[in-house]
Structure 1
Amino acid sequence: MLRTRTRTPLVIHDHVTDALKTPALIRLADNVILARFETMKVYAALGAVRALLDAGTIRPGQTLVDSSSGIYALALALACHRYGLRCHIVASTTVDATMRAQLEILGATVDQMPPSANLGLDQQRRVARVRQLLAENPDLHWMRQYHDPVHYLGYHELAGLIADALPDADLTVVGSVGTGSSTGGMTEALRGLGRGVRLVGIQPFGSVTFGADRFADPEAIIAGIGSSVWFDNVHHELYDTIHWIDFRHAMGGAVHLLRGHAVFAGLSTGATYLAAGWEARRHPDRMHLVIGADTGHRYVERVFARHAEAIDPTRTRPLEITSLAELALPWSVLEWRRQPWRKTGTESNR
């Protein structure tokens, strides 16, 4: 006898951004849930553009410009398409032909940086190019995804969805730090709703954001989870724990996630999944929400095609450290304990 299943009603959306922004929630273990996004930064871009239009800061037909390594570029182009704005992207050298074609068809103009010796130089070149464009055309509006707190607003909506889906559990959010807006905005809003939320942030080696800039990870292509320049939108006092994870371990996490759960997600999700597994074993009483920011398509050649080389993440564990002085490759973890950042002088490199 066939079992009757409850059907989930389909929703008709007026614009594709409404369909793209909502994550799929997938159970990976009893106390681990993956929030899988096609492109999570749609929340940031939509929330920011709506707020700026409502405030009169920008107007329909104006050109919005920003620097991006990929997924924010697409999110901003989609938001501009929705609200009748023009879009100019200063793109990282890591933006591939598939992403660039989407941006151009959506109507965005694209400045792409030439190949660089490292992602730090790429990022600095992008910021310099944005400043040049603003000097040449003052009517451009710089979205400043790294610095403008307006990018927090869209994630408050996401926090409400998460609160409804996971109403009773003590929650640990595990996600890449990046610009600070996604994990910061969502956690800030969840705590505002009275939820007891631990926030675990993921960083690559080489990122200035949490003091790992003295390290180099030669294979690192984890664009979007760390930076060589300072981000004002990172509020260090929101984070309970920080994991620094190198390329090889992030790759192992991404391949293991696909092999074990059939989830094809990006490299930052691989790193987050790895850290969340370790956290979940240490805290079995808490529910862990893994933020899967994007799909794995832009990592096919450099990650998934090399799956035979991937390490088994179940056979590795982080070095537990008590200060940044002890930080070491390939994977370290520190209890940050919601401490504010102690200024070092690098904060002016923006």
Structure 2
Amino acid sequence: MTLPALAHPTNPDLLPLLGRTPIARIRTPLPQPQPGFWAKLECLGAGGMKARSAVAMLRGAHARGELLPGATVVESTSGTLGVGLAFAGQALGHPVVLIGDAELEPPMQQLLRSYGAKLEIVDRPAEHGGWQAARLTRLHEVLARLPGAYWPDQYNNPDNAAGYHAMALEIIGEIDHLDTLVCSVGTGGHSAGLVEPLRRHWPALRVIGVDSIGSAIFGQPARKRLMRGLGSSIHPRNVAYQAFDEVHWIGPAEAVDACRRLARGCFVSGGWSTGAVALVAAWAARNGNGATVATVFPDGPHRYLGTIYDDTYCQAHNLSPEHAASHPVEIPFPAAAEVTGWARCRTVVDPLEARQ
């Protein structure tokens, strides 16, 4: 590995490009007709959704003296945070080293390198904790080789959530009322960052978390996951379990079907997380007795042209529409049964606390 130079120019002109993304009304049938919901289009923001959290984490570390001028930033990523950190690194003057894995799409690897990030790729998942655990092991090895480097620790850093407070204020300024917020959950940052300011403004707000099947976040067993960008094989401490009224688990067939319906029906689409939250937001709008529903589309479709939008890939992984559930099954508590497709649960607990 070639170590990045310590001197790194800052480009503060990038910072005014952060956030202020548009919000769209989505009325596409998903899969049944639905009255419509609001979607914050984070794919249209510079650096993507996670540029918000990346800038907040680096600024917080600056303020505490944990990140020195020009020091290297090292982080694990499945892709989206990597783009955000590349943006933050350029804006604030820090070299960025990203730890990815062999399932990180080649176009995303090329994009991250084009943005100036250095990539280290792990080639096999850990026996316990999968790709995330393997990336974290490599991350600590890289930190040991780079004295003075800073690890934001997106999974447990409260500045991750704080980076989304501005998005909450944007939402408040864009719609008159909100009854239900639907959030994908990975690190837990954007859901935790949105809920507090939105509930101060709308105290009765309901919050639905959206996870991937095979994810351990809400108490299901960790399994190999096809979907990236939501879900986790570990338990991030940024997840605000007490904030959620219910959780839905979505399978890849449902996410693909939703993404493709969005692309055909309203021109606005994205990746696994976007398909998952769109499906649940449409369900909430359809079953909400007139409730106003909003969600966040974290990214756009371009990263997924070889997966979600590729017929050969979808056929090879049995992701055709006939394999997609049209409604969720309900389980009484997270450990009641292992879910393999769209499911919901109205009992939300921190699985680590539940074991004690």
With normalisation by structure 1, the TM-score equals: 0.86
1:54-74 CA deviation, whole Å, 9 max, x = no partner? 332212201111000001011
Q: 3-state SS of the aligned residue for 1:212? A: coil
Length, aligned pairs only: 329
Alignment of 1:270-349 (within 5 A): 270-306=275-311, 310-311=320-321, 316-324=326-334, 325-336=336-347, 339-341=349-351, 343=353
Offset of residue 98 of structure 1? 2.6
Offset of residue 120 of structure 1? 4.7
Offset of residue 257 of structure 1? 1.1
Q: 3-state SS of the aligned residue for 2:339? A: coil
2:5 aligns with none
Match of 2:240 among 235, 241, 252: 235
Offset of residue 104 of structure 1? 2.1
Match of 1:199 among 201, 204, 207: 207
1:3 aligns with none
Amino acid at match of 2:248: H
Q: 3-state SS of the aligned residue for 2:269? A: coil
Amino acid at match of 1:330: G
Check 1:122–1:295 CA distance in 2 against 1; reply closer, same or farther (3 A cut). Answer: same
Offset of residue 102 of structure 1? 2.8
With normalisation by structure 2, the TM-score equals: 0.85
2:17 aligns with 19
CA RMSD of aligned residues (A): 2.6
> Contact 2:18–2:52 (CA<8 Å) still a contact in 1?
no
> Contact 1:321–1:327 (CA<8 Å) still a contact in 2?
no
Amino acid at match of 1:147: N
Amino acid at match of 1:63: T
Offset of residue 131 of structure 1? 1.3
Distance 2:191 2:173 in 1: 18
Distance 1:179 1:119 in 2: 18
Matched, 1:171 2:182: no
Matched, 1:70 2:79: yes
Distance 1:122 1:130 in 2: 12
2:153 aligns with 144
Offset of residue 78 of structure 1? 0.7
Check 1:55–1:279 CA distance in 2 against 1; reply closer, same or farther (3 A cut). Answer: same
Match of 1:223 among 225, 228, 245: 228
Offset of residue 246 of structure 1? 0.9
1:48 aligns with 57
Q: 3-state SS of the aligned residue for 1:170? A: coil
Structure 1 spans left out of the alignment, 5+ residues: 1-12
Identity score, percent: 27
Amino acid at match of 2:169: G
Distance 1:232 1:63 in 2: 24
Distance 2:114 2:255 in 1: 32
> Contact 1:31–1:284 (CA<8 Å) still a contact in 2?
no
Deviates more, 1:17-26 or 1:325-334: 17-26
> Contact 1:31–1:286 (CA<8 Å) still a contact in 2?
no
1:122-167 CA deviation, whole Å, 9 max, x = no partner? 2111010111122333411111001111111110111111111113
1:225-265 CA deviation, whole Å, 9 max, x = no partner? 11111211112111111001111111111111111111131
Amino acid at match of 1:92: D
1:4 aligns with none
1:156 aligns with 165
Check 1:17–1:261 CA distance in 2 against 1; reply closer, same or farther (3 A cut). Answer: farther
1:290-340 CA deviation, whole Å, 9 max, x = no partner? 210011122112211227863179971110221220443211101136x45
Amino acid at match of 1:82: A
Check 1:314–1:26 CA distance in 2 against 1; reply closer, same or farther (3 A cut). Answer: farther
1:182 aligns with 190
Amino acid at match of 2:330: E
> Contact 1:170–1:196 (CA<8 Å) still a contact in 2?
no
Q: 3-state SS of the aligned residue for 1:35? A: strand
1:69-117 CA deviation, whole Å, 9 max, x = no partner? 0010110111010011111100132322332233223322110122559
Amino acid at match of 1:261: C
Amino acid at match of 2:214: G
Matched, 1:208 2:216: yes
Amino acid at match of 2:196: E
Q: 3-state SS of the aligned residue for 1:225? A: coil
Distance 2:286 2:269 in 1: 23
Check 1:335–1:155 CA distance in 2 against 1; reply closer, same or farther (3 A cut). Answer: same
Check 1:301–1:98 CA distance in 2 against 1; reply closer, same or farther (3 A cut). Answer: closer
